[in-house]
Structure 1
């Protein structure tokens, strides 16, 4: 597995590369990043001026400028 900084970059690049869906969410598949937690992914999204959706993701990470329920950062 690549080291954490590389995985950070990989998650950020994926979130930046995927188009937003009809609800303006960018969806990333967490199974592609087994060593990155949802909490860490939410921090990466926050660094990109996005928020991570906490509810209703159906197994995916969803990021957007606005979300219904944000993943807590604590």
Structure 2
């Protein structure tokens, strides 16, 4: 069905020296993404056992909303 929600969970391991760069980029990026049509949730967190592994949790109203984001 074309109107089913799309839920994504993505882990991204980064190089320790680039951590601050990613955090700053996320601060600027996340409000814009959350305001996109069809984005129901978009969270970024860090694994407790590895501060260089970031976890993105995304919920889109539909595949079309996800496609618009990409």
Q: Is the strand fraction higher in 1 or 2?
A: 2
Same fold per superposition (TM over 0.5):
no
Q: Which is higher, the Rg of structure 1 or of structure 2?
A: 2
Q: TM-score band (shorter)?
A: 0.3 to 0.5
TM-score (norm 1): 0.34
